[in-house]
Amino acid sequence: MKASPYLYIAPFFVLFALIGLFPLVYTFVVSLNDWDILSGAGEWIGFDNYVAELNDPYFWNSLFNTMSIFLLSAIPQLVAAVFIAALLDQNLRAKTFWRMSILIPYIVTPVAVAIIFSSAFGEKYGLINNILTSFNIDPVLWKSEVFPSHFAIATMVNWRWTGYNALILLAAMQAVPRDIYESASLDGAGPVRRFFSMTLPSIRPTMIFVIITATIGGLQIFTEPKLFNPTSANLGGAHREYQTTVLYLWDMAFNRGDFGKASAIAWLLFLIIVGIGLLNFMISRKIASTEVKVISKRRAKKLARYRAIAAASPAATNPTGAPAVSVVDEEKSS
Amino acid sequence: MKSQRRTKMVAAVAGAASLALLATGCSATDGGDSDGPITLTVTTFGTMGLDGLYAAYEADNPNITIKATNIDTGGNALTDWKTKQAAGAGLADVQAVEEGWLGQVMQVSDTFVDLSEYGADDIKDRWVDWKLAQGTDADGRIIGYGTDIGPEGLCYNGALLEEAGMPSDRDAVAELFGGDDATWDEFFQVGKDYNAATGKAFYDHSGFVWNAMVNQLDEGYYTAEGEINVEGNSALQSQWDKLADGAAAGLSSQQSAWDWGGGKAFTDGSFATFMCPGWMLGVVKGQVEAAGGDASTGWDFADVFPGGAANWGGAFLTVPTQSEHPEEAAKLAAYLTSAESEVAAFQAAGTFPSVIAAQTDDGVTGGSELSTFFNDAPIGTILGSRAEGVTSQFKGPNDSVIQEQVFGPATKELDSGVDGDTAWNNAIEVLKNLDLN
């Protein structure tokens, strides 16, 4: 029965159509209307909402905040995750203990993380400012200045996600064959050299996966800034210092009640994420194709050598013999 | 900030709660005949003091079962209401709405049951007239029964005033601020004297003072006709200048509202006065206790308010047309807003009744745990006196947005040392960017 495989995968696609595709299309329809949350659909106004948003300084402000928090969290987070993974990849005692420990922040709910950190980052009574003042350092306005607030929110993200990413990268590192390391160290490569020349290139596909998921997550950041100053009437700081795009969207929909513009923001954000995703994809494909090029060049050389040998001594030729195997070997290890 | 007025420290769970509410945005009403068993849903928010009344009502009406939901803060309740209103389903049979959202509620007043059809006309004399007027829409339909009102008095810390060589006795303090003719000028002058004597701030932050100033005017951010009237509004601007002058003199303690460092700001002498509508008294007590303080911390409540009578907040019970049992729901709403019920709510939560008979009831004017905390101040009597002369102000659909997003940042700017004109111009700039109507 040829239908059965399609039936097996149907639940996903039916669910996706219902809770993924339909809202996507409906949001687009809403974004073309002057649509108030309470009074409902108004006039059809085409792309006016998009034009209005692209001219709205608060929209650009939210994009800037999102990108800034994203960069402040993604870069240190990935560097730290790679470093931690490399440490855990060593021969440690009580391996599982260490590995599980770095995952603990991940199982704490983001809401709890946000509450704890927002208290620690309090401006007047917060733990961190208390410590700073006790060292005679001026307290930092964590919740009302742009860079400190971004730093504080990025800290929450890093705290939660570094361990998770480190575990994924660790899994990739574990998959690298150990004997290569052995032969490399026999050839005199030190641990640093082995890390940069062997470990990093081998985990590249996983790195790309981690970067893409971090990008999507980073561009959709909501909980941390929403709860960073939960008592503030304004979302994302009095002057929108850390109002990310999703927060801005929420504010537009539920505080200002303009569903049309909120939907337009949602679609703009969607397009931006798709755009960045494509960029990531292209970069990763380019990396992959460079690898293929290197491989095919080597293979061509090998083949040429093999043919030369074969031509020189036709009697010894064995099409499935050792030379062919060595070509395959060469490909595997390159 | 009005819509956030009942915020507690637990407000931090706000986002999670509102998301959960979005996800579970349905509270189906059981079908059934009016004689058969009926389940009524009630949605309230913050501390409205109604929880104890449901069981009594169920006992008197055996066929009624009440399913009550309480949302932590007014702000989250607003989001909840808006979402379900937009979805056209999921609202409770008896839905509490806040004064601060009235402008939005009135936009869709036809989705609320006209309670006159269920006997509102027989009981409408129970409320102070301006409260009844607030709950009546433009077509004269009564859509909300008033629960509490928020007449404002002045909370002050007697111990701190004494340190500055000022009186701490309730009547003397009222006199210090000008008694019945108290003005904002006098308030800021006393503040400057206090600051000169102690070097400390006088009030917690500019935002609440600004709220009080605006709520007190005949017209706030909107004209009575419903037009936004902020730019070039001389009444607003002259109040703004006074506020800016006070902030420049160091009278604001620059606190974050609803945070107050977990209540510490109320116990460490950061500020000596606080704007106190009735429901705020419970908040003050809660904050002081959260920071480990008690009645000896020195907070007291005076029968005086700068600029005269002012109201901040208060709620209504409505019956959405979505309800399948409007008659029973209206009956329950009437019960929950009766004089006896409002006295009980006051005793439970300090919410000052909007029902005239309840305002002078012994249960309101007598002592309570709350009055003990406030140095045995006769809280109910003072609030009754503060409620005199309060009039209702028209609240436009974007009133709370203007308050939070336009003047929230601007008052924060005043606190951080920006001069009044610049902060005002920035506010106007934001207002234009927001493009409200």
Output the six-digit token pair for B136: 């009546």
- For B80, nearest residue in chain A (alpha carbons): A254
Is the predicted pLDDT of residue A330 greater than 80, yes or no?
no
Q: What's the pLDDT at B26? A: 40
Q: How far apart are CA B414 and CA B251, in angstroms?
A: 11
Q: Say whether A256 and B15 touch across the interface (CB within 8 A).
A: no
Task: Please give the average per-residue pLDDT across A60-66, as a whole number.
Answer: 95
Q: Say whether B412 and A238 touch across the interface (CB within 8 A).
A: yes
Q: Say if B308 is an interface residue toward chain A (CB within 8 Å).
A: no
Among the partner residues B7, B83, B264, nearest to A231 by beta-carbon distance: B7
Q: How far apart are CA A20 and CA A27, in angstroms?
A: 11
Tell which A residues from 143 to 182 touch B, by Cβ distance under 8 Å: 143-144
Q: What's the pLDDT at B16? A: 40
Q: Say if A129 is an interface residue toward chain B (CB within 8 Å).
A: no
Q: What's the pLDDT at A294? A: 65
- DSSP-derived letter for residue B142 is B
Quick one: how many helices (H) and strands (E) in chain B? 22, 8
Rg (alpha carbons) of chain B, rounded to whole number: 21
Q: What's the pLDDT at A290? A: 63
For testing contact with chain B, the best of A124, A235, A258, A259 (most B CBs within 10 A): A124
Q: Say if A124 is an interface residue toward chain B (CB within 8 Å).
A: yes
Express as a percent the part of chain A with pLDDT over 70: 90
Task: Please give the average per-residue pLDDT across A239-266, as a whole number.
Answer: 93
Q: Say if B107 is an interface residue toward chain A (CB within 8 Å).
A: yes
Are B329 and B161 a contacting pair, CB within 8 Å? no
Q: Say if B249 is an interface residue toward chain A (CB within 8 Å).
A: no
What is the ipTM for the molecules in this complex? 0.80
Task: Please give the average per-residue pLDDT across B283-301, as a whole number.
Answer: 93
Q: Which of A176-185, B27-36, B304-313 has the lowest mean pLDDT?
A: B27-36
Is the predicted pLDDT of residue A20 greater than 50, yes or no?
yes
Q: Say if B108 is an interface residue toward chain A (CB within 8 Å).
A: yes
Is the predicted pLDDT of residue A332 greater than 50, yes or no?
no
Interior CA angle at B430 toward B426 and B434, to 5°? Answer: 170
Task: Please give the average per-residue pLDDT across B323-352, as a whole number.
Answer: 93
Q: What's the pLDDT at B115? A: 96
Output the six-digit token pair for B253: 């303690």
Q: What's the pLDDT at A3? A: 87
Q: Say if B409 is an interface residue toward chain A (CB within 8 Å).
A: yes
Instruction: Tell me the chain A residues in contact with residue B7 when contact means C-beta distances shorter than 8 Å.
Output: 231
| Shortest distance, CA A236 to any CA of chain B (angstroms) | 11
The packing angle between helices B234-248 and B420-434, to 10°, is: 130
Q: Say if A122 is an interface residue toward chain B (CB within 8 Å).
A: yes
Are B212 and B239 a contacting pair, CB within 8 Å? no
Instruction: Tell me the chain A residues in contact with residue B415 when contact means C-beta distances shorter than 8 Å.
Output: none
* Mean pLDDT score across all residues of chain A: 86
Tell which A residues from 207 to 266 touch B, by Cβ distance under 8 Å: 222-223, 226-227, 229-234, 238-239, 254-257, 259
Instruction: Tell me the chain A residues in contact with residue B258 when contact means C-beta distances shorter than 8 Å.
Output: 231
Task: Please give the average per-residue pLDDT across A40-68, as a whole number.
Answer: 93
Q: Say whether A257 and B412 touch across the interface (CB within 8 A).
A: no
- Phi and psi at residue A172, to the nearest 5°: -65, -40
Among the partner residues A58, A143, A256, nearest to B401 by beta-carbon distance: A256
Output the six-digit token pair for A136: 């005679």
Cβ neighbours, 10 Å, residue A305: 12
Is the predicted pLDDT of residue A328 greater than 60, yes or no?
no
Q: Say whether B15 and A111 touch across the interface (CB within 8 A).
A: yes
A211-236 burial code (b ≥16 CB/10 A, e <16): beebbeebbebbbbbbbbbbbbbbbb
Q: What's the pLDDT at A295? A: 65
What does the pLDDT look like over A262-305, one tens digit per residue? 999 999 999 998 898 888 778 877 766 666 666 677 777 877 88
Q: What's the pLDDT at A292? A: 61
More confident of the two residues B218 and A314: B218
Q: Which of A1-10, B126-135, B176-185 has the lowest mean pLDDT?
A: A1-10
Task: Please give the average per-residue pLDDT across A64-77, as a whole number.
Answer: 93
Calculate the alpha carbon distances from B112 to A8, A150, B115, B137 in Å: 47, 43, 9, 10
Is the predicted pLDDT of residue A36 greater than 80, yes or no?
yes
- Pairing of the two strands B64-71 and B311-318: unpaired
Among the partner residues A38, A114, A115, nearest to B82 by beta-carbon distance: A38
Q: How far apart are CA B324 and CA B322, in angstroms?
A: 6
Q: What's the pLDDT at A61? A: 95
Is the predicted pLDDT of residue B17 greater than 80, yes or no?
no
Is the predicted pLDDT of residue B69 greater than 50, yes or no?
yes
Task: Please give the average per-residue pLDDT across A161-176, as a whole number.
Answer: 93
Task: Please give the average per-residue pLDDT across A295-319, as a whole number.
Answer: 70
Are B228 and B179 a contacting pair, CB within 8 Å? no
Express as a percent the part of chain B with pLDDT over 90: 74
Tell which B residues from 256 to 295 touch A, by Cβ distance under 8 Å: 256-259, 261-262, 264-265
| Shortest distance, CA A228 to any CA of chain B (angstroms) | 9
Q: Say if B14 is an interface residue toward chain A (CB within 8 Å).
A: yes
Q: What's the pLDDT at B20? A: 40
The position carrying tokens 């995952």 is A103
Q: What's the pLDDT at A291? A: 61
Q: Which of A316-320, A324-328, B183-187 has the lowest mean pLDDT?
A: A324-328
| Shortest distance, CA A185 to any CA of chain B (angstroms) | 52
* Mean pLDDT score across all residues of chain B: 89
Q: What's the pLDDT at A319? A: 46
Task: Please give the average per-residue pLDDT across B60-73, as a whole number.
Answer: 92
Q: Say whether B262 and A257 touch across the interface (CB within 8 A).
A: no
Are B18 and B10 a contacting pair, CB within 8 Å? no
Task: Please give the average per-residue pLDDT across A310-318, as a whole number.
Answer: 60
The position carrying tokens 């045995």 is B376
Q: Say if B398 is an interface residue toward chain A (CB within 8 Å).
A: yes
Q: What's the pLDDT at B282? A: 86
Instruction: Tell me the chain A residues in contact with residue B433 when contact means C-beta distances shorter than 8 Å.
Output: 56-58
Instruction: Tell me the chain B residues in contact with residue A256 when contact means C-beta distances shorter than 8 Å.
Output: 398, 401, 434, 436
Q: How far apart are CA B436 and CA A256, in angstroms?
A: 8
Is the predicted pLDDT of residue B142 greater than 80, yes or no?
yes
Q: Say whether A233 and B404 touch across the interface (CB within 8 A).
A: yes
Q: Say whether B408 and A234 touch across the interface (CB within 8 A).
A: yes
Q: What's the pLDDT at A314? A: 55
Are B221 and B229 a contacting pair, CB within 8 Å? yes
Are B231 and B225 a contacting pair, CB within 8 Å? no
- Pairing of the two strands B144-157 and B273-277: antiparallel
What does the pLDDT look like over A91-121, one tens digit per residue? 888 988 999 999 999 999 989 999 999 999 9
Q: What's the pLDDT at B407? A: 95
More confident of the two residues B218 and B72: B218
Distance of alpha carbon A279 from the chain centroid: 13
Q: Which of A124-138, A191-205, A314-328, B252-266 has the lowest mean pLDDT?
A: A314-328
Q: Say whether A114 and B12 touch across the interface (CB within 8 A).
A: yes
Q: What's the pLDDT at A64? A: 96
Cβ contacts below 8 Å, chain A against chain B, sum to 97
Instruction: Tell me the chain B residues in contact with residue A229 when contact means C-beta distances shorter than 8 Å.
Output: 256, 259
Q: Say whether B436 and A256 touch across the interface (CB within 8 A).
A: yes
Candidates A113, A123, A130, A117; CA nearest to B261 is A123
Task: Please give the average per-residue pLDDT across B311-335, as a whole number.
Answer: 94
Q: What's the pLDDT at A287? A: 67
Calculate the alpha carbon distances from A85 to A206, B88, B143 in Å: 12, 51, 62
Four-CA torsion A183, A189, A194, A198, nearest 10 degrees? -60
For testing contact with chain A, the best of B256, B415, B433 (most A CBs within 10 A): B256
Express as a percent the part of chain B with pLDDT over 70: 92
Instruction: Tell me the chain A residues in contact with residue B405 when contact means C-beta distances shorter than 8 Å.
Output: 233-234, 255
What does the pLDDT look like over A113-151, one tens digit per residue? 999 999 999 988 899 999 999 999 999 999 989 999 999
Express as a percent the part of chain A with pLDDT over 90: 51
